[in-house]
Amino acid sequence: MTGPSPDPMVAGDRQNTGRGRPGFKLDLARCVGCGACVLACRIENQLPMGVSWRRVLQVNQPRIGGGPTYHLSVACHHCENPPCVRACPSGALKKGPDGLVSLDSGRCIGCRYCEMACPFGAPSFDVDAGVMTKCHLCHHRLAEGSSPACVAACPTEALGYMPSHGGERAAGSKDEEERAEERQAEERQAEERQAEERKAFAPAAGIPGFGDPTGARPGYWVADPGGTIRSEWFLQLKALLGTEGEGPHDPA
């Protein structure tokens, strides 16, 4: 891996607002669903069976309409505005200044609200330990200057790591101040909401569909496969996956 190539989703007529966050990118034209990333994560982080920080979803596995199968390797997106953090009643989950959404298992009470709140089922419950676990971007490897284990293991180089992305916006859209204000308001609201939720200490039941480990929910963000789009079908798929919704990649 020669380091992440420029992200085509944010390249072009856009400006950097300096609000990037770290994350993964996946080239759908390259991912063959081989699962090496899943196993590399398991080995690196010594995850017991039953706990998975990364999964590979298959989209259109039966190749309906003659369209291809796409494989989506998914882990935590370290969302810009993470619902898991808001759902966590104990303060175990935090969005750090570096953009990393981290989990302090010492503070985790094992209520699994974050798992329900995450649109991607990214947090993974360790039944034996009774605590939640999740992707920490292999920060120990990043500190050594290498990429996360899953990225390093991907034999097709479909999976990439971006130290900073998602802070860019299209030229001509809202200016930076407007956006910053909105953001602050959002953050305030989020904090208030979180405080309230903590007080109430729980929605009683899970939200249907949330945390569903097999559902590729809308809002999932995919990288454009670098000019190798070969079918109409792919564009449809991309439209399906790249749409609105509170996703990890808030539309600029």
Partner 1 sequence: MNRRIVRTVCPRNCYCTCGMLVTVEDGRIVRIEGDPENPATAGEVCLKGLSYVERVSHPDRLTSPLRRKKNGELESVSWDEALDRIVAALWAIRKESGPLAVLHYEGSGSHGALSGLAEAFWNPYGGVTRPHGDLCWPAGLEATRLTYGANWHNHPILTRDSRFILLWGHNPAETNIHQWRLILEAQEEGATLAVVDPRSTDSTDAADVHLQPRPGTDGALALGMAQVIVAEGLHDADFLRDHALGVEPYLECISAFPLERTSSITGLEAEEIRTLARAYARGNPALLVAGFGLQRHRHAGQAMRAVALLPALTGKLGIPGGGWQYANLSSHCLGPPPLLPSSEGTQTRSFPTSRLGRSLQHLRDPPLRAAWFEKANPVSQHPRTKEVIRGFAGLELVVVVDQFLTDTARLAHYVLPAKSLFEEEDLVTAYWHPYLQLRQKVLDAPVGVNTETQIWRELCLRFGFTTEAFDMDPMERLRAMLPEGHEDALEGLRERPMDLSNRGEVAWEDHEFETPSGRVEFTSEAATQLWGVDSVPSYEAPPEGYESELANRYPLQLLTCKTRERIHSQFGNLDGIREVERPRVLDIHPEDATSRGLEEGDVARIWNGRGSAEAPVHINPGLRKGVIHVLEGRCVPDDPWVNLVTGDGITDMGYGATFYECRVEVEPA
Binding site for partner 1 (CB under 8 A): 1, 29-30, 32-36, 38-40, 42-44, 49, 52, 56, 58, 62-64, 66, 68-69, 71, 152-157, 226-228, 230
How many whole angstroms separate alpha carbon 71 and alpha carbon 53? Answer: 16
Asked if 134 is part of the footprint of ligand SF4 (rule: CB under 6 A), the reply reads yes
> Residue 10 or residue 120: which is nearer to ligand SF4 going by CB?
120
* H helix runs in the chain, sequence order: 36-44, 83-87, 113-117, 139-143, 149-153, 176-200, 232-241
Q: Determine the distance from the C-alpha atom of residue 108 to the mean position of all C-alpha atoms in its chain, rounded to a whole number.
A: 20
Q: Which of 118, 132, 149, 222 binds ligand SF4 (CB under 6 A)?
A: 118
> Residue 70 or residue 120: which is nearer to partner 1 going by CB?
70
Q: Which of 23, 123, 166, 219 binds ligand SF4 (CB under 6 A)?
A: 123
How many whole angstroms separate alpha carbon 98 and alpha carbon 12? Answer: 25
Work out the end-to-end distance of the chain between its first and last CA atoms, rounded to an integer number of angstroms: 29
> Residue 49 or residue 204: which is nearer to partner 1 going by CB?
49
Q: Which does 203 bind (CB under 5 to 8 A by kind): partner 1, ligand SF4, none?
A: none
Q: Which does 64 bind (CB under 5 to 8 A by kind): partner 1, ligand SF4, none?
A: partner 1
Q: Which does 52 bind (CB under 5 to 8 A by kind): partner 1, ligand SF4, none?
A: partner 1
- At 245, the amino acid letter reads G
Asked if 102 is part of the footprint of ligand SF4 (rule: CB under 6 A), the reply reads no
> Residue 92 or residue 159: which is nearer to ligand SF4 going by CB?
159
Asked if 32 is part of the footprint of ligand SF4 (rule: CB under 6 A), the reply reads yes
How many whole angstroms separate alpha carbon 76 and alpha carbon 122? Answer: 5
- Token code pair at residue 144: 């050594």
How many whole angstroms separate alpha carbon 175 and alpha carbon 125? Answer: 41
Is residue 30 a contact partner of residue 39, using CB atoms and an 8 Å limit? no
Cα separation values, 26 from 15, 65, 71, 72, 241, Å: 22, 24, 10, 8, 13
Sign of the alpha-carbon dihedral angle for 197, 202, 205, 210: positive
Q: Which does 204 bind (CB under 5 to 8 A by kind): ligand SF4, partner 1, none?
A: none
Could you list the residues that contact ligand SF4 (CB under 6 A)? 31-37, 56, 71, 73, 76-79, 82-84, 101, 118, 120, 122-123, 134, 153-154, 156, 158-159, 248
